[in-house]
Each structure stands twice: as structure tokens, then as C-alpha cells.
Structure 1
Amino acid sequence: MHKPSVKETSMKPILPAPHEQDHNAPPVNPLPVSVVLLALAIFGVEIVMSAADMGLIGGPAAAGWRLAAIEDYGFYQPLMAWMMETHVLRWDYLARFVTYPFIHGTFTHALFVLVFLLAMGKLVGEVLADWAVLLVFFGASVVGALVYGATFDTRVMLDGGYPGAYGLVGALAFILWAWL
């Protein structure tokens, strides 16, 4: 009787045999709708900003669109301080808590946010509902802006989707911890 060696039993093919492959499998892993919508919003804004930076749209005035968008939609700590001092809540100032994640300083900045968003969003979205993924992304963005505003007395604008993406990293860590 032949006894299989350790090498024979531990060596498994990396890919399934050709007759075992699923020919109806999608070419790209399916993503949750909420993650696709967030990624499209970030990507859409970045395409417009990059095209304007390169002079493809908007003419000479478009060179300042990115900075104008950061000034108009980025989180600005002095505005938060003003609302806290005067006890006046302005909707255009409050909107900045959820608009700043869609405006990025550079194409590379947006690209890395998209990588984190798509990777972490897919994993979190497989467990949580779409509304919960959006809640985590925007909740982390709001908390990130509040902490930034409370910690730093600065005139530097906060922009970019990293706080929301890191919120998804935290959600994934919680999911993995809960499964242990």
C-alpha cells in the first residue's frame, strides 16, 4: 500500500482545473452599490479637476478650479470655531463636513483614496448593508473634521477622502474582531 508523502498531500494546484472554472464569473469582483456611488463621485470630481488642471476644459480660468473647490467645499477650522462662538449654524458651513471628502489636492491623492475606498468598501460592504457603509464613510468624515477642528487652530483646509476610507478600515477591523 502506497502512503502519500507530505509533499504529495500538501501540494495543491493554485488554479482549478480548466473543467472546474466558472466561465460565467464576472471579470471584476462585484462591488456594493454604495461603494460604487462613492467611487464614481470622487472619480468624477477628480476627472473634471484634472482636465481643468491640464487646460482641457474651462480655458485659462480653470487653472484655479481645484483651489476654488477646496476653498468652497473643504473643511475650514475657523468656520467651525465661528459657529461654536456665535452659536449660529450655517448650512453652507455644515455642508463642508460631508463635501470635503470629494475634493482632493492632487490626482494622486484621489487615486490612493479610491484604492482604499474600493478595497475596504468591498470587504465591509460584503457584511454591512449599503446604508451602513455610507454611514461609516460619512460618519468617519464628520468625526475626522470635528477632531481636526478641535485639535488644531489652523488656517489649513482639510480636504480628501482619507478620513472616510480610514473609517472603513476601522469597520473592517471591528468586523474581523467580532468574528474571532
Structure 2
Amino acid sequence: MSEKPINDLSPVVIALALLIIGAEAVFQLANAGLVGGPRGVGWRMEGIGMFGYSPAVLERVLVQHDFSPDILWRFVTYPFINVEIVQAAFCAALTLALGKFTSEYFGGLKVLAIYFMTAIVGAVIYGLLVEGNAPLLGGFTPVYGLIGAYTYVLWLRLGQAGENQLRAFQLIGFLLALQLLFGLIFGGGQSWIAELSGFAAGLALAIPLAPGGWALLLHRLRERS
């Protein structure tokens, strides 16, 4: 029996990855002079200016009460604007992998909700806590949101198997340690604030969105008591 293509990935997950890959492909083609002509070299900066997010965006919303579309869409478009091809590749690959795992449990539409809601939460927390105007770009924040949702699924399954449920947090612990190491070696910004916020939001959202919702969580907690 032949395997189905790309492991039956949810169309929603494929669409998210294609948005990341497609945007980066346009930037790479423009840099190579294949599209956009002489102006194409600056398309990435124009994309950041039109679709990127920074603390100034949140300030416009909270202080100036600017709810125009070109401000609000930045809360959900910044994950698709990466600073370089390596970041885009990692974000696309992790979105496909984690999207596959989570969509098998939650379904495609709920994964879409988790992706964008964690992107928004991460952006808001980043805007509240980060001083200055350093941009928040790339899909790592909602990827960490998917990791949060996947962690909850692992926590439930380990509980069903009677195993140590703290093992569910090994993945996020490993990623944070790796990120800390890279930050010490290469110097890092403050995007970890958004990413950790995205993880916490994904973990919290997974509870009501999981089959069984809060009732399932309470049942699992009673079983342990």
C-alpha cells in the first residue's frame, strides 16, 4: 500500500507553511534581480514596513486608538515576514511538523486559531515589555504556540499511560536552553519574550480547544488526586 502524499497534512498547515515560503521566495527572487527590477532589492524592507510588528504598533493602538487595518493586520502578518532565508526555512519546517502533530488531535481550524491567537498574544506581551522599537518578525512566536498546544497533548497522553507527565515539558525546556546558548554565543534580542508568551498562550488555549475541554482536564486532575 502506497503512502499518501506529505503524510496527510492538514490543508490549513500547508497553507501556513506556503505563506512563509512564498513570502521568502519573493524576497529572494527580488534580491537576485529576477522580479521587481531595481526596486526589488528593497522589497524585504518594504514588507517589514507594511506587515512587520514592533512595540510602536501597540502604542499606536493603545495610545492613539488607531484601529486602522494597516495597523491591526501587523499582529497576524509579522509571522510571515522573516529577516533571512534560514529563519524562514526553520519556521516553515517547524510549522509543518508541529502543525501535523497538533492538527491530528485538534483539527485544522483549531490549529489555525491557536497559530494566530498565540501570534497576537506574543506580539502584545512583546509590545508591553520591550523598550525601544526593535521589530518582532518571523514565525517563531506562533510556532512556540503550537509547541504549547502539543505539550498539553503530550501531558494528557502521558497521564493516560501512567507515566511522568513532566516529560511533556522536555521539548520546550530543550528549545529554551538551545536559544539561551545561541544568545550567549551570537548575541540575542528580546524575541524570546514573545516566544515564551506564545508557548504559554498555546498551552492555555489547548485546554478549552481540546476534545473534552475543561471537563477532560478536571477528570485527569481528579485521577491523580
* Alignment counterpart, residue 3 of structure 2, candidates 20, 25, 28: 25
Count of residues paired in the alignment = 158
Q: Does 1:175 align with 2:156?
A: no
CA distance in 2 between counterparts of 1:143 and 1:102 reads 16
How far the C-alpha of 1:133 sits from its partner, in A, is 0.4
* Partner AA of 1:178 in structure 2: L
CA distance in 2 between counterparts of 1:101 and 1:82 reads 20
Q: Which protein shows a greater Rg?
A: 1
Tell whether the 8 Å contact from 1:71 to 1:157 is kept in structure 2 after alignment.
Answer: no
Alignment of 1:120-139 (within 5 A): 120-139=98-117
CA distance in 1 between counterparts of 2:49 and 2:96 reads 27
Q: Does 1:118 align with 2:100?
A: no
What residue number does 1:61 align with? 39
What residue number does 2:28 align with? 50
- Measured at CA, do residues 26 and 79 of structure 1 come closer, stay the same or move farther in structure 2, by a change above 3 Å? closer
Cα deviation 1:152-178 (Å, max 9, x = unaligned): 122221111111111111110011112
The Cα RMSD (Å) is: 1.2
Cα deviation 1:92-134 (Å, max 9, x = unaligned): 1111001111111111110000111011110001111111000
Q: Percent identity?
A: 37
Cα deviation 1:26-48 (Å, max 9, x = unaligned): 25312111101101111111111
CA distance in 2 between counterparts of 1:156 and 1:166 reads 20
* Partner AA of 2:154 in structure 1: L
How far the C-alpha of 1:56 sits from its partner, in A, is 1.4
Q: What are structure 2's unaligned runs of at least 5 residues?
A: 160-225
What residue number does 2:82 align with? 104
CA distance in 1 between counterparts of 2:84 and 2:92 reads 13
Structure 1 residue ranges (4+ consecutive) displaced by more than 3 angstroms after TM superposition: none
- TM-score where L is the length of structure 2: 0.67
* Partner AA of 2:136 in structure 1: L
Q: Does 1:154 align with 2:132?
A: yes
* Partner AA of 1:77 in structure 2: P
* Partner AA of 2:123 in structure 1: A
* Partner AA of 2:121 in structure 1: V
Structure of greater relative contact order (alpha carbons < 8 Å, 6+ residues apart):
1
- TM-score where L is the length of structure 1: 0.83
Normalized per residue, the structure richer in helix is 2
* Alignment counterpart, residue 142 of structure 2, candidates 164, 170, 175: 164
Tell whether the 8 Å contact from 1:46 to 1:103 is kept in structure 2 after alignment.
Answer: yes
What residue number does 1:142 align with? 120
Q: What are structure 1's unaligned runs of at least 5 residues?
A: 1-22
CA distance in 1 between counterparts of 2:26 and 2:50 reads 16
Provide the secondary structure at the position in 2 that maps to 1:29.
Answer: helix
